[in-house]
A and B are shown apart, each in its own frame.
Chain A
Amino acid sequence: MATIAQALRMALHKGEAELGVTDIFGEDVGPPLGGVFTCTQGLKNTWNTPLDERGIIGTAMGLALAGQRVVAEIQFVDYIYNTIDLLKLAGNSCWSSMGQFPLPMVVMSPVGSGIHGSLYHSHSFDALATHLPGWKVVLPSTPSDVYGLMISAIKDPNPVLFLYPKALIRAPSKERLPGEPEDPKVLSKLIDAPLGEARKGWEPSWPAIEPFEIPIGVAKVLKPGQQLTVATYGRMAPICQAAAERLEGEGISAEVIDLRSLYPYDEAALIQSVKKTRRFIVVNEDTEVTNFGEHLLRKITEACFYDLEAPPRLLAGLNSPGIGLAWPLEEAQVPQERHVEAELRALAALSA
């Protein structure tokens, strides 16, 4: 029932109340706003930074080097690009120093399209993120996965890039975190900051969530199936699930796997599924050239070549320099439910 925004807040609250998180910071992360998507409202250790992504990542690294536990935010992943060399350094600090300087730090950032974000509020970062050895990368798609993976990210002794799909931040969810109030209105009253004057002096009242975490690197089967395996994550996960559920009525049985973690990823779960279904497709919204899904295709081709009944497929964003604002542009550039449905249908029909 909690939204992703609420789940993030509750996880970060647990982080600062019980797991030693000292700093939650970034542009507009602290009061009064609590994040442009309200994900950091009502927390104790939040603060606003200069509008300087390199300063944010650099300072996070410095704080981590000095033993603080940090969660830094890049407001939109579209603006993380000018920090790439710092991310590289964070990923090689432990290796280059023979283990002397591990860097436990979490960097969180919303990714993806679906909010009419045009060129600079729609980027995916999967391919580049998974090109940063030394980092762990997660991209959960539901509130409880967000909560559970944030707890794991905070506890991890390594740098963790915590990506989350911005189009789903306020999406209604059927999930309930253990201990979360039954009624979403009650939760909202407890932890959503009131608007206007009432916000002054407001303090959240955090529900007691039972201990709950999701290990990094473990995928989740969203829908079991027999005939083909769909590997996906982020915003595409519920889209693939919906498409697969509809196809079930046509007699096409697709297994949908939400990877949740991009690195390390759950190779064993994918192989196990493909050995059963014999067909494989990856769906994501990043541009298609040098796409992370291509890596998965290579892995599966190598591991399951003689099991495959059809060429493995990738359905991804078009290789264009940006997402267009006008809806027909975005709609054609990023996979939509009907595209996914058509691809799955076609893959099910193919045979070797």
Chain B
Amino acid sequence: MDSLRGLPPGHAGQPALDPVLLYRLMAKSRALEERLVKMTKSADGYFWIGGPGEEAFNVPLGLLIKKGRGPAFDFLHLHYRSSAILTAMGMPMIDAIRQMASRATDPFSGGRNFVGHFAVRDWNVVPVTSPIETQYAIAPGTALAQLRHGGDAITIVNGGDAGTAEGDFATCLNWVSRPGRELPCLVIVTNNHWGISTAFDEVHGDRLIARRAGGFGIRWDTVDGNDAFAASAKLAEVFDYVRRTRKPFCLEAYVSRLHGHSSSSGGARVEEPDCLALLEARLIRDGRLTAALATEIREAYAAEALAALEKVRGEPIPDPRTIHDHVYAG
């Protein structure tokens, strides 16, 4: 299994990203999440869950997506900590705020679902759902359609560490690795060492989640998701590998959970490595960013988020007469 760790030679991936662009998008996503957390305190929203602490991994991931509709483009089966992926793909901040505020203008669910439960037909972002791990059982289907269609589009599925105890994780590994019928699916685990309040080590005997993929003949690796450069480089390589070989890959990223599990545990900031602060310090040290510009960038996004909220406050809430809309298609 260990022989399948890493990539075969020749998957250098894309040229390095502009680190300041990376920083900007990470800062934007963070500002959005911080506003969303505050909305639970200001009575602008009921429940918060999201991905502050995963930006260094999720922004480069979002930038690698071949964005579009149908099997010629990438499909995304995401869990609820994926806002930085959507931000990198170009989601306007205000749309996430609309969902947080349960507005009829929420383009993902019309005020029906929790924040972070994205659904974007035009970008193949299939509905994010609350039951843990189910997305892993669904992902092989879109990957099979893409394989059939031809071209280089791939399926990306992500979720947390605790959820990999569900059978759906094994379902995914099995269905994407049937001999001779391997599927172009990137299986991602964002490991923050926690499932709500239960530490991974307390309930799991294995230490390397991605290594399980090796048992299915799937190549796998791990990456420090708090290191934006390491994450960008690794993601570029594995995207290239899955796109070109049409084979699965399993990547485990170690990430932080900067505001705890969700608003149900208070949503307060916790002491864990902060990928945004780490990147900022590094860029300043390398002379690619000044402290003043960094502050300006962060403050500008915070202001954008607040202005978006003020606009959203004036937008309509869903009309109960629409409850039966879209139960059925056609």
- Residues in A lying within 8 Å of B, measured CB to CB: 22, 50, 52, 54-55, 57-68, 85-86, 88-89, 93-102, 104, 133-134, 136, 156-158
Contacts and interface: CB of A to CB of B under 8 A. Distances in A.
Contacts of B144: 59, 62-63, 66, 68
Contact of A62 (B127, B142, B327, B328): B142
Given A58-B168, A156-B330, A158-B329, A101 B145 contact: no
A59 B157 CA distance: 13
Given A50-B174, A94-B329, A98-B326, A60 B134 contact: no
Given A54-B171, A66-B71, A66-B142, A97 B327 contact: no
Interface of B: 70-71, 75, 77, 108-110, 112-113, 117, 119-121, 126-127, 129, 131, 134, 136-146, 148, 155, 167-168, 171, 174-175, 178, 325-330
7 contacts: A58-B140, A61-B141, A67-B71, A89-B138, A95-B326, A100-B120, A102-B329
B138 A101 contact: no
A83 to B, nearest CB: 9
A133 B121 CA distance: 22
Contacts of A68: 141, 144-145, 148
A55 B326 contact: no
B134 A89 contact: yes
Contacts of A61: 138, 141
B190 to A, nearest CB: 20
Nearest to B69: A67
Contacts of A59: 137-138, 140-141, 144, 175
Nearest to A68: B145
B61 to A, nearest CB: 20
Given A98-B325, A158-B328, 7 more contacts: A62-B138, A63-B141, A66-B75, A66-B141, A68-B144, A99-B325, A99-B329
Given A96-B113, A99-B325, A157-B330, A66 B70 contact: yes
A50 to B, nearest CB: 6
Contact of A97 (B127, B137, B143, B145): B127
B327 A94 contact: yes
Nearest to B126: A65
A98 B143 contact: no
A104 B121 CA distance: 15
A63 B326 CA distance: 21
Nearest to A135: B328
A210 to B, nearest CB: 25
Given A50-B174, A66-B75, A98-B109, A157 B329 contact: yes
B75 A65 contact: yes
Contacts of B328: 94, 102, 134, 136, 157-158
A54 B137 CA distance: 7
B71 A86 contact: no
A272 B231 CA distance: 67
B293 to A, nearest CB: 39
Pairs A-B, 7 closest by C-beta atoms: A62-B141, A58-B137, A102-B329, A66-B145, A97-B119, A157-B330, A63-B141
Contacts of A136: 328
Contacts of B129: 89, 96
Contact of A64 (B70, B77, B139, B141): B141
